[in-house]
Amino acid sequence: MTSAWWVVFRKELRETLRDRRTLFVMIAVPVLLYPVLLIGAEQLFLFGARNLEGETSPVAVVGDPPTTLLDLVDASETLVLTAVPGDLVEAIRSDVVTAVAVVGVANDPDGTREVTLLFDAASDRSQRGRAQLSSVVGAWRDTVLVRRLRDRGLPATFALPVALADSSIARPADMGGYTLGRILPLLLVMMTVLGAFYPAIDLAAGEKERGTLETLLTAPVPAGAIVAGKFATVALIGVIAAGLNLGSMLLTFQTGALQVTQAIGLDVSMPLAAVALIFLTLVPLAVLFGAVFLGLAVRSGSFKEAQNALTPVYILALFPAMLPIFPGIDFSPLLAATPVAGVAFFFRDLMSGDASWGLGGLVLASTTVYAGLALVFAARAFGSERVLFGGDETADVPSERWTSRWFKRAASDRVPSREAALAFVAAIAVLFFFGGIRLQIAYGETGLLAAEWLLLFVPALLFVGVGRYDPRGTLSLRAPRTGHLLAGLLLIAGALPMIWLIGWLQSFVLPIPYELLEGLEELVTAQSWGRFFWLILILAVTPAFCEEIVFRGVLLGGTRTLDPWRIIALNGLVFGAFHLSFETVIRFLPTALLGALIAWAVWRTGSIWVGMLMHFLNNATIVVLTSLPAMREFLSDPEAPPPLWLVPVGALVLGLGMVLLDRSATFEVEQTAHAVRGP
């Protein structure tokens, strides 16, 4: 008897392949578009290069040029000596000349004469004219040097005591693998994800929009078989799309159609074993994204809504796939266990011939685990009637989880919608990034203080007031109890060593910017009591009020309709992203984890004051530690691990804080419910 999931799989695959969009992404793009794009781009590049080579470059020589230099410019077949009576810069910008050599006055016949080449770096023709003029000036310099040596009876080799030459030992196949390993992993991951993107939307949100999903679910087929069939279809299409892309790229390079690879000595080829391993690793990767996309798409009510939900995930997946492009990042066990990044690095090493089987096994195992978790995520979505058919958000919540229902009931007051809260935080982030930086540059630490209060705190209050939202519900202004505050103290005390450990482990993947750390150390170090209290004000008190009212106030209040774990995860991610900058990528993960912990504490207690206390204690601890000479000496090495004894102690204190907070919050919920029900 045929398995139910196999029947669903064949049905879904047949219907998916009838979709012209899927066929275009799977077949037309890799088989036709890549060769056309690569060969077309190469031909356009060669055409443009030949056009430039066929042109002569008008140049000018001004100042105090010797006759020898002018004769060399006149003798050049690619340069035309042109007079420039007016402004030199304007002549270059208006293409009267491509470059100008400004020759200095010769004060000493045997001295050094300065020559400055003016050109436009934003113009291809000007760059070419500069290179040609530089070559002629170099020839003139060599002529002068030879004459000076001859006049003094010295050999020509006297001015060249060392002849330096490069000789690479890399074979053409090595260079081809190196080049391919920087490009192809990103394309493979991108096409695998894209191959699962549209089928997942169509098999979930598309069927809900067409009204056919309900019909399928009423058939005498187990729900697990339906999920398995749909998931197998999406995963298979993702693997096929990635395989066609890989084959098309390799064939385009290996057939010799690209003249550039031959001209620069690249031999692009891959052993069959490497190709087979790539396909083997693509399978769990396709399963991972197929399941994630299905689980997200089925939560959407329409094709357009699913596209909006899946696009950020697609973009987010591309960042770790880009890591092999950047130099200086070595493939490590931590990277091997990182979703998507491990796959991309393993592909890079396979293509360059330097693959480690141990790291490859870790990549395959970790990706398989992530794929299994994604399958559970998708299965739970298809098993929820609320997700599939809508309705009461608490219909499928077990009765013992009535703390979540109490929380949602408390949020029934007028609070901002999820979209409004996220839009507000996005606008605040843009405002703070541009306006806050200008304030800090103009006024230093006072500007930082002003930016926090004027660009975070005041807009949050205006948002609540203008929107006529309930301040108590939106900003979680409930008065905390003693147990809440004590739990918050334990949580932050236990989290600090754990975050320190995570930051140290992260240093094996992301390099630590020492210059930035030195600047931060100088900023947070107090040499006097006045300076200490000032730092506490701007670095501890102010962020505790201003940042908490935005993230654990408006953002948390506007996202209360989500599941609790999503509220906490989203809050932490947004909080970490808010603290990103070009130099401080290393702060994202620790800050996001801290933000998630504070969000959980505020969610459980309904009091933003607990979050403010935790935020204040975290920042104040940093100021205190860096201001103590003994601790500053102890923390002088940012790559040193935290004392091992702090890790279990921190975990124990963190656990105690979580238990205390959970019990105190549960007790209050029970008291509230008892008061509502009456005696």
Domain at 73, CATH number: 3.40.190
Return the pLDDT at 670. 45
Let me know: does 439 contact 447? Beta carbons within 8 Å: yes
Map tokens 């804080």 to a residue.
657
Task: Say which DSSP state 234 is in.
Answer: H
Q: How many domains does the structure of the chain reveal?
A: 3
Cα angle for residues 511, 522, 634 (degrees, 5° grid): 70
Q: Provide the 3-class DSSP secondary structure of residue 486.
A: helix
Return the pLDDT at 116. 92
Query: Do 247 and 313 belong to one domain?
Result: yes
Query: Do 420 and 383 belong to one domain?
Result: no
How far the first Cα of the chain sits from its last, in Å, is 60
Beta-carbon count within 10 A of 147 CB = 11
Q: Pick the last residue of a domain from 388, 403, 438.
A: 388
63 in any annotated domain: yes
**H or E segment and range at residue 115:** strand 115-119
Return the pLDDT at 401. 42
Query: Do 259 and 376 belong to one domain?
Result: yes
pTM: 0.65
Query: Do 434 and 285 belong to one domain?
Result: no
Return the pLDDT at 223. 65
Return the pLDDT at 675. 41
Phi, psi angles (nearest 5°) of residue 102: -100, 110
Phi, psi angles (nearest 5°) of residue 99: -155, 155
Would you state the structure tokens that stand for residue 376, as one six-digit string?
Answer: 């559970």
**Residues 346-379: pLDDT tens digits?**
888 888 777 888 888 999 999 889 888 888 888 7
Would you state the structure tokens that stand for residue 542, as one six-digit string?
Answer: 């102010």
Distances (CA, A) of 9 to 6, 78, 106, 227: 5, 66, 84, 9
Q: Which residue stretches of the chain have pLDDT < 50?
A: 1, 391-412, 667, 669-679
**Residues 80-107: pLDDT tens digits?**
999 888 889 999 999 899 999 999 887 7
Cα angle for residues 285, 286, 290 (degrees, 5° grid): 120
Alpha helix (H) residue ranges in 432-513: 437-443, 445-452, 458-466, 471-475, 482-506
Q: Pick the last residue of a domain from 126, 154, 182.
A: 154
361 in any annotated domain: yes
Cα angle for residues 671, 673, 678 (degrees, 5° grid): 95
Would you state the structure tokens that stand for residue 127, as one six-digit string?
Answer: 């760059």
Return the pLDDT at 244. 78
Query: Do 372 and 462 belong to one domain?
Result: no
**H or E segment and range at residue 151:** helix 124-151
Query: Do 367 and 464 belong to one domain?
Result: no
Query: Do 25 and 82 belong to one domain?
Result: no
184 in any annotated domain: yes
161 in any annotated domain: no
Return the pLDDT at 378. 81
**H or E segment and range at residue 548:** helix 542-548
Query: Do 370 and 487 belong to one domain?
Result: no
Query: Do 215 and 354 belong to one domain?
Result: yes
164 in any annotated domain: no
Structural domain span for residue 457: 411-677
Q: Could you tell me which residues come within 8 angstroms of residue 389 by beta carbon, excluding any fewer than 6 positions away?
A: 214
Q: Pick the last residue of a domain from 154, 184, 207.
A: 154
**H or E segment and range at residue 100:** strand 99-103
Q: Give the separation between CA 346 and CA 277, rounded to whole angstroms.
A: 10
Would you state the structure tokens that stand for residue 172, as one six-digit string?
Answer: 């053409």
Query: Do 509 and 531 belong to one domain?
Result: yes
Q: Could you tell me which residues come within 8 angstroms of residue 623 by beta carbon, excluding any fewer than 6 positions away?
A: 524, 526, 532, 535, 536, 539, 540
Query: Do 336 and 366 belong to one domain?
Result: yes
**Helix 418-431 with 564-578: angle, nearest 10 deg:** 10
231 in any annotated domain: yes
